[in-house]
Amino acid sequence: MSTDSTFDSRVFDVTGMTCGHCKAAVEEEVGAVKGVNLVVATPATGKVVVEGTNINEAEVRAALAEAGYQVV
């Protein structure tokens, strides 16, 4: 899948989230991406649910990297 694609709902698997601070950092960074309406990060599973309208995948991946986490 191209990272330039867009989506409305997607679950990302992320490495390195271990606590509530990690959750908050991910939700803040990804929540700032254009089109994102909802972000739910779950450190226990490493899952980040992103929902919204016409969201650019590359921008979400960049936001996750900015927060210090890597998509697997």
pLDDT in tens, 37-46: 999 999 999 9
Domain at 60, CATH number: 3.30.70.100
- Residue 6: pLDDT band (50, 70, 90) is confident
Q: Identify the domain containing residue 41 by its residue range.
A: 8-71
**Whole-model pTM?**
0.90
| CA-closest candidate to residue 39, choices 70, 68, 48 | 48
Is the per-residue pLDDT at 58 higher than 70? yes
- At residue 32, the pLDDT reads 98
Residue 1 in any domain: the answer is no
β-pair partners for 59 = none
Give the number of domains in the chain.
1
Q: Is residue 2 part of a domain?
A: no
Q: Give the model's pLDDT for residue 4.
A: 67
